[in-house]
Amino acid sequence: MSLPEDLLKKLLRRRYIIEKYYENYLKHLESREYDKASEDLWGIVNNLASMLSLLLVGKPIGKHDELRKFINDLISSKGDVRLKELLLACERLHANFFHNFMDEQQFEEHRVKAEELISILKKYITDELQKYGIII
Protein backbone atom coordinates (compact mmCIF):
# COMPACT_ATOMS: atom_id res chain seq x y z
CA MET A 1 0.00 0.00 0.00
CA SER A 2 1.41 3.38 -0.96
CA LEU A 3 0.62 6.86 0.22
CA PRO A 4 -1.44 8.86 -2.31
CA GLU A 5 0.62 11.65 -3.87
CA ASP A 6 -1.81 14.43 -2.91
CA LEU A 7 -1.75 13.26 0.71
CA LEU A 8 2.04 13.14 0.68
CA LYS A 9 2.15 16.74 -0.59
CA LYS A 10 -0.18 17.88 2.19
CA LEU A 11 1.93 16.11 4.80
CA LEU A 12 5.16 17.58 3.45
CA ARG A 13 3.64 21.08 3.46
CA ARG A 14 2.62 20.66 7.09
CA ARG A 15 6.08 19.36 7.97
CA TYR A 16 7.63 22.47 6.42
CA ILE A 17 5.28 24.69 8.44
CA ILE A 18 6.18 22.79 11.62
CA GLU A 19 9.89 23.25 10.93
CA LYS A 20 9.37 27.03 10.61
CA TYR A 21 7.33 27.15 13.81
CA TYR A 22 10.07 25.17 15.57
CA GLU A 23 12.81 27.55 14.36
CA ASN A 24 10.77 30.49 15.62
CA TYR A 25 10.02 28.70 18.88
CA LEU A 26 13.72 28.21 19.63
CA LYS A 27 14.45 31.84 18.75
CA HIS A 28 11.61 33.15 20.94
CA LEU A 29 12.54 30.80 23.77
CA GLU A 30 16.13 32.02 23.74
CA SER A 31 15.03 35.67 23.74
CA ARG A 32 12.51 34.93 26.52
CA GLU A 33 9.57 36.08 24.41
CA TYR A 34 7.27 33.58 26.04
CA ASP A 35 4.10 34.92 24.46
CA LYS A 36 5.50 34.32 20.97
CA ALA A 37 7.06 30.98 21.94
CA SER A 38 3.62 29.97 23.25
CA GLU A 39 2.03 30.53 19.86
CA ASP A 40 4.86 28.69 18.10
CA LEU A 41 4.18 25.65 20.27
CA TRP A 42 0.47 25.92 19.50
CA GLY A 43 1.24 26.01 15.78
CA ILE A 44 3.44 22.93 16.05
CA VAL A 45 0.77 20.98 17.95
CA ASN A 46 -2.01 22.06 15.61
CA ASN A 47 -0.06 21.10 12.49
CA LEU A 48 1.08 17.75 13.91
CA ALA A 49 -2.51 16.95 14.85
CA SER A 50 -3.57 17.93 11.32
CA MET A 51 -0.95 15.61 9.85
CA LEU A 52 -2.24 12.75 11.98
CA SER A 53 -5.83 13.63 11.11
CA LEU A 54 -4.94 13.56 7.41
CA LEU A 55 -3.49 10.09 7.87
CA LEU A 56 -6.35 8.74 9.99
CA VAL A 57 -9.47 10.41 8.60
CA GLY A 58 -8.30 12.06 5.38
CA LYS A 59 -8.78 15.70 6.36
CA PRO A 60 -6.83 18.32 8.31
CA ILE A 61 -8.03 20.04 11.44
CA GLY A 62 -9.42 23.46 10.62
CA LYS A 63 -10.92 24.76 13.85
CA HIS A 64 -10.05 24.75 17.53
CA ASP A 65 -13.07 22.62 18.46
CA GLU A 66 -12.08 20.11 15.76
CA LEU A 67 -8.69 19.78 17.43
CA ARG A 68 -10.33 19.15 20.78
CA LYS A 69 -12.63 16.51 19.26
CA PHE A 70 -9.72 14.87 17.45
CA ILE A 71 -7.70 14.62 20.67
CA ASN A 72 -10.73 13.16 22.46
CA ASP A 73 -11.04 10.58 19.66
CA LEU A 74 -7.34 9.78 20.08
CA ILE A 75 -7.89 9.28 23.80
CA SER A 76 -10.66 6.80 22.97
CA SER A 77 -8.63 4.90 20.38
CA LYS A 78 -5.22 4.97 22.07
CA GLY A 79 -6.33 4.93 25.70
CA ASP A 80 -3.91 7.70 26.66
CA VAL A 81 -5.84 9.97 29.01
CA ARG A 82 -2.78 12.24 29.47
CA LEU A 83 -3.61 13.75 26.09
CA LYS A 84 -6.45 15.80 27.58
CA GLU A 85 -4.20 17.43 30.19
CA LEU A 86 -1.48 18.03 27.60
CA LEU A 87 -3.94 19.67 25.21
CA LEU A 88 -5.24 21.90 28.01
CA ALA A 89 -1.69 23.11 28.61
CA CYS A 90 -1.38 23.89 24.90
CA GLU A 91 -4.67 25.78 24.93
CA ARG A 92 -3.37 27.90 27.80
CA LEU A 93 -0.21 28.59 25.82
CA HIS A 94 -2.37 29.66 22.88
CA ALA A 95 -4.23 32.08 25.17
CA ASN A 96 -0.90 33.33 26.53
CA PHE A 97 0.00 34.55 23.05
CA PHE A 98 -2.96 36.92 23.09
CA HIS A 99 -2.87 37.98 26.75
CA ASN A 100 0.76 37.44 27.82
CA PHE A 101 -0.27 36.43 31.36
CA MET A 102 2.29 33.71 32.12
CA ASP A 103 5.42 34.27 34.12
CA GLU A 104 8.52 32.23 33.33
CA GLN A 105 7.66 29.40 35.73
CA GLN A 106 4.11 29.04 34.41
CA PHE A 107 5.36 29.09 30.84
CA GLU A 108 7.95 26.42 31.65
CA GLU A 109 5.33 24.12 33.21
CA HIS A 110 3.10 24.42 30.14
CA ARG A 111 6.01 24.22 27.70
CA VAL A 112 7.08 20.85 29.09
CA LYS A 113 3.55 19.50 28.63
CA ALA A 114 3.35 20.89 25.09
CA GLU A 115 6.63 19.23 24.20
CA GLU A 116 5.31 15.95 25.62
CA LEU A 117 2.21 16.22 23.42
CA ILE A 118 4.44 17.02 20.44
CA SER A 119 6.48 13.87 21.09
CA ILE A 120 3.36 11.73 21.36
CA LEU A 121 1.85 13.12 18.16
CA LYS A 122 5.14 12.57 16.32
CA LYS A 123 5.17 8.95 17.48
CA TYR A 124 1.60 8.39 16.29
CA ILE A 125 2.46 9.94 12.91
CA THR A 126 5.57 7.75 12.62
CA ASP A 127 3.47 4.67 13.43
CA GLU A 128 0.92 5.57 10.74
CA LEU A 129 3.58 6.29 8.11
CA GLN A 130 5.24 2.93 8.82
CA LYS A 131 2.03 1.28 7.61
CA TYR A 132 2.91 2.75 4.19
CA GLY A 133 6.52 1.64 4.47
CA ILE A 134 7.70 5.17 5.18
CA ILE A 135 10.34 5.44 7.88
CA ILE A 136 11.11 8.89 9.27
Percentage of residues in the chain with pLDDT exceeding 90?
Answer: 96
* Amino acid 2: pLDDT: 87
Supply the CATH number for residue 51's domain: 1.20.120.330
Is the pLDDT assigned to residue 136 strictly greater than 80?
Answer: no
In a domain, 104, yes or no: yes
In a domain, 49, yes or no: yes
Percentage of residues in the chain with pLDDT exceeding 70?
Answer: 100
Domain range for 75 is 5-130
Please list, residue by residue across 54-92, b when 16 or more beta carbons sit within 10 angstroms of its beta carbon and e when fewer do: bbeeeebbeeeebbbebbeebeeeeeeeebeebbebbbb
In a domain, 12, yes or no: yes
52, exposed or middle or buried, with CB in 10 Å at 0-12, 13-18, 19+?
buried
List helix spans (H) across 31-134: 34-57, 64-78, 82-99, 104-130
In a domain, 136, yes or no: no
Is the pLDDT assigned to residue 135 strictly greater than 90?
Answer: no
In a domain, 135, yes or no: no
In a domain, 88, yes or no: yes
* Amino acid 75: pLDDT: 96
If one counts the domains in the chain, the total is 1
In a domain, 39, yes or no: yes
Q: Does pTM surpass 0.85?
A: yes
In a domain, 31, yes or no: yes
pLDDT digits (tens, 9 = 90+) for 92-113: 999 999 999 999 999 999 999 9
pLDDT digits (tens, 9 = 90+) for 52-69: 999 999 999 999 999 999
* Amino acid 42: pLDDT: 98
